[in-house]
Amino acid sequence: MWVRCRRFLILVIFITMIVNVTPPIHTYANEINVSSYSAIVMDQKTGRVFFEKNAHEKRKIASITKIMTAILAIESNKMGETVTVSKKATRAEGSSVYLKPGEKIKLRDLVYGLMLRSGNDAAVAIAEHVGGSVDGFVFMMNEKAAQIGMENTHFANPHGLEDQDHYSSAYDMAILTKYAMENEEFRKISGTKVHYAPNPDSEWKRKWTNKNRLLTELYKYSTGGKTGYTKKAHRTLVSTASKNGMDLIAVTLNTPSQTDWTEHIQMFEYVFDHYDYQVIVPDGTIDKITKKIYKKHAYIAHEYVYPINEDEKESFHVHYRLIKPKKEWKKNTDKIPEVIGKTEIYFHDELIHTMPIYYDHENKQEPSFFDSFKQLFSSVVGAKL
C-alpha cells in the first residue's frame, strides 16, 4: 500500500513540474538595430530571449524549413540506410545537389546535402524514405512542431518552397533550433564546412561546401545554422554561435539584402559582451529548508545557471514548495518519498524554471540530546518512552 502511495506522490509532483515554462523576455539590447522584419537572439541552454523584433509573427521561412527535415531524419534511426532516389525527388524545383533517378545513396549523405547545399531534391528523397511519402513526412513535421511548442508554425513541404500554408516565426525557429542542437549528430552536420559524398557518375566524389558564410568565413564563433531564400520570403537565416561557454541562436526573417550576416554577428557580440552565466541555484543540500523532518536531507541534484548582466543579479527569487509531511514519517523515514517537492525560480517575478527537490535517505540526522537520553534510559531500565 505504501509503495503505491509513494509512487502516487512522486507522480503528482512531476505532473505539476512538467509544464513548459517560457523564459520571460526582458530585452535590454537597445544597441541592436536590424533591418530584417523579424529577428531574435536566444540562449541555447535556457531559452532566454535577449532581443526580439516581431518574433512571434507568422512569416514565410524558405529553406530554414530544412532544420526540421534534418532532425526528423536523424531521429528516425535510419541514417545508415540506403535510399533509392525517386524521379519525383530529382524533379524538385530550386536548389539541388543533382541527384539521379534510381541513384542509391545513404540517408546520412542526403542530410549533409540538405543542410550544407540546401538541396530540395535531397529534402524530397529524405521525406519519401523517412515518412513513406512526402505527405506522410509533412504530417510528422507538424506533429513534431506541436510537440516542441511551435505555436505559430505550419509545414506544407520538407524544403520550404512557396506555399501559403507553409510558415513559421522567428521565435518558433529558434526553439526548433534549440531542440535540434541538443542532438549530437545534428550539431556535427550543421557545423560541417565541407562534406564529400559518393557520385554515381564519376570516380570523383561530390564536394558540398556549406552555404553558411558565417561558419565558413565570416565569424570564428559560428557553430552552424541554415540559410534560406525565396522571392517572397526574401532572405532567411538561422545561425548558432559559442563563446566562453555560452551558446546562442539567432534567427532573422525577411531580410531585404545581405545584411543578415552582419545582423547575426551584431546580435551575438552584444550578448557575449553583456551577459554571463551565473549560478542561481547551487546543487547539494538546501540550507534554507529548516523543517525538521527535511532539514539536512533536502537537496538539489543539479545546479541551475542563467545568463544575466550586471544589473540583474538581484532580480531572482527562489521558492521551495514541499510535500506536507505525514505523521508516520517521523517514526520511519524510509517511507519519505524520493521527491519531496519542487524549486520554483522566478526572474523579474516571472516563473522561468522548476526543479525537483530530493530527499537524501543516506544522510541520517544526528540524534538530539533528548533522543540520545531516551535511548540510553530505555536500554538501562528496559522501558519504552
Collect contacts of 204-211 with beta carbons under 8 A, ≥24 apart. Answer: 206/97, 206/113, 208/97, 208/112, 208/113, 208/116, 208/117, 209/116, 209/117, 210/115, 210/116, 210/117, 211/116, 211/117, 211/118
Q: Is 378 in the active site?
A: no
Q: Which fold has domain 38-274?
A: Beta-lactamase (3.40.710)
- Of the residues 95, 118, 169, 222, only one is catalytic, namely 118
Give yes or no for residue 375 having a pLDDT over 60. no
* Residue 234 to residue 251: CA distance in whole angstroms: 14
Catalytic entry in 53, 60, 66, 211: 66
Same fold, 2-20+278-359 and 38-274: no
pLDDT score recorded for residue 11? 45
Q: Is 226 annotated as a binding residue?
A: yes
Which grid coordinates are listed for 323? 510535500
- Calculate the alpha carbon distances from 110 to 66, 107, 385 in Å: 12, 5, 76
Q: Is 36 a catalytic residue?
A: no
Mean pLDDT score, 150-174: 97
Identify the CATH class of 2-20+278-359: mainly beta
Q: Which of 36, 38, 63, 169 is catalytic?
A: 63
379 pLDDT higher than 60: no
Q: State the DSSP code for 312.
A: G
User: What does the alpha-carbon distance between residue 138 and residue 130 come to, in Å, rounded to a whole number?
Assistant: 11
- Cα separation, 123 vs 131, in Å, equals 11
pLDDT band, very low/low/confident/very high, at 372 (cuts 50, 70, 90): very low
Per the CB < 8 A criterion, the answer to whether 118 and 238 are in contact is no
pTM, rounded to two decimals:
0.84
pLDDT tens-place string over residues 269-278? 999 999 999 9
Grid coordinates representing 48 are 532566454
3-state secondary structure of 325: coil
Domain ranges of the chain: 2-20+278-359, 38-274
Tens of pLDDT, residue by residue over 193-252, are: 999 999 988 888 999 999 999 999 999 999 999 999 999 999 999 999 999 999 999 999
